[in-house]
A and B are shown apart, each in its own frame.
Chain A
Amino acid sequence: MPAASRVLPTPRIVGVDADGVEHGIDYRAWQPLSLEELNSWLNLHFFKLNVAAQDRIGRYFLDRANVAREQALSPSGLAYPNRWLGPFTAPTHMLHPAVWAHAGNVPKTSFVKIRIYNESWSLEERQHNPSAITRVLAYEYPHP
Chain B
Amino acid sequence: MNILSLSRFGCHWDRFWFTPTSPRNVAASRIVFSVYSLWVLASRNLAQVSGLPSDFWSRVEATARWRYLDFPEHFALERMLVWIAGIALVCAMLGLLSRLSCFVAGILLYHLAPLESIIWIPHPYARGLTISVLALLTLSFVPSGDCWALLPPRTRPTRMASSDYTWPVRLIQVFLVEIYLFSGYAKIAVVGWKWASPSNIRNWVLYCIEEDQIGVFHSFGAWIADRPLVCVAMGVGTLVFELGLVAVLFSKLARRVLVPLVALFHLAILLSMNLTFLNVPQLLVFADWDVVTGWVNGKASKTRESASTSSA
CB nearest to B278 among chain A residues: A90
Cβ of A108 under 8 Å from chain B: no
Chain B nearest Cβ from A8, distance in angstroms? 6
Instruction: Render A1-38 as a binary contact track against B, CB cut-off 8 A, 1 for contact.
Output: 11011101010100000000000000100011111110
Q: How distant is the Cα of A121 from the Cα of B213 in the complex, in angstroms? A: 14
Contact at A95–B216, with CB atoms within 8 Å? yes
Chain B nearest Cβ from A32, distance in angstroms? 4
A-facing residues in B114-148 (Cβ within 8 Å): 116-117, 119-121, 126-128
Chain A nearest Cβ from B261, distance in angstroms? 21
Q: How distant is the Cα of A96 from the Cα of B203 in the complex, in angstroms? A: 19
Instruction: Render B273-286 as a binary contact track against A, CB cut-off 8 A, 1 for contact.
Output: 01111100000000
Cβ of A57 under 8 Å from chain B: yes
Q: How distant is the Cα of A3 from the Cα of B274 in the complex, in angstroms? A: 22
- In the complex, which of the residues B42, B59, B213, B217 contacts A45, with contact meaning CB atoms closer than 8 Å? B59
Cβ of A104 under 8 Å from chain B: no
Contact at B270–A40, with CB atoms within 8 Å? no
Chain B residues positioned under 8 Å from A93 (CB to CB): 126-127, 275-278
Q: How distant is the Cα of A27 from the Cα of B216 in the complex, in angstroms? A: 13
CB nearest to B119 among chain A residues: A41
Most buried by A among B42, B225, B277: B42
A-facing residues in B195-227 (Cβ within 8 Å): 198-199, 202-203, 206-207, 210-217, 222, 225
Contact at A82–B43, with CB atoms within 8 Å? yes
Q: How distant is the Cα of A121 from the Cα of B48 in the complex, in angstroms? A: 34
Contact at B199–A4, with CB atoms within 8 Å? yes
Q: How distant is the Cα of A94 from the Cα of B275 in the complex, in angstroms? A: 5
Chain A nearest Cβ from B74, distance in angstroms? 14
CB nearest to B225 among chain A residues: A127
Cβ of A56 under 8 Å from chain B: yes
Chain A residues positioned under 8 Å from B13 (CB to CB): none
Chain A residues positioned under 8 Å from B174 (CB to CB): none
Binding site secondary structure of chain A: loop
Q: How distant is the Cα of A48 from the Cα of B56 in the complex, in angstroms? A: 12
Chain A nearest Cβ from B109, distance in angstroms? 14
Instruction: Render A78-119 as a binary contact track against B, CB cut-off 8 A, 1 for contact.
Output: 000110110001111111110000000000000000000000
Contact A32-B48, Cβ < 8 Å, known A10-B211, A57-B53, A97-B216:
yes
Q: How distant is the Cα of A121 from the Cα of B217 in the complex, in angstroms? A: 19
A-facing residues in B220-242 (Cβ within 8 Å): 222, 225, 228, 231
A-facing residues in B95-119 (Cβ within 8 Å): 116-117, 119
Q: How distant is the Cα of A85 from the Cα of B203 in the complex, in angstroms? A: 35
Cβ of B16 under 8 Å from chain A: no
Cβ of A123 under 8 Å from chain B: yes
Contact A49-B203, Cβ < 8 Å, known A81-B43, A89-B43, A95-B216:
no
CB nearest to B127 among chain A residues: A93
Chain A residues positioned under 8 Å from B46 (CB to CB): 32
Chain B residues positioned under 8 Å from A123 (CB to CB): 203, 206-207, 210
Chain B residues positioned under 8 Å from A57 (CB to CB): 53, 55-56
Contact at A31–B199, with CB atoms within 8 Å? no
Contact at A49–B119, with CB atoms within 8 Å? no
Cβ of B44 under 8 Å from chain A: yes
Q: Which residues of B contact A (CB under 8 A)?
A: 39-40, 42-49, 52-53, 55-56, 58-59, 116-117, 119-121, 126-128, 198-199, 202-203, 206-207, 210-217, 222, 225, 228, 231, 270, 274-278
A-B contact pairs, 24 of them (CB 8 A): A2-B199, A4-B199, A6-B203, A33-B119, A34-B116, A35-B214, A37-B119, A57-B53, A57-B55, A81-B43, A85-B42, A91-B276, A91-B278, A93-B275, A94-B214, A94-B276, A95-B216, A95-B276, A96-B213, A96-B214, A97-B213, A97-B216, A126-B206, A126-B210
Q: Which residues of A contact B (CB under 8 A)?
A: 1-2, 4-6, 8, 10, 12, 27, 31-37, 39-41, 44-45, 48-49, 53, 56-57, 60, 81-82, 84-85, 89-97, 121, 123, 126-127, 130
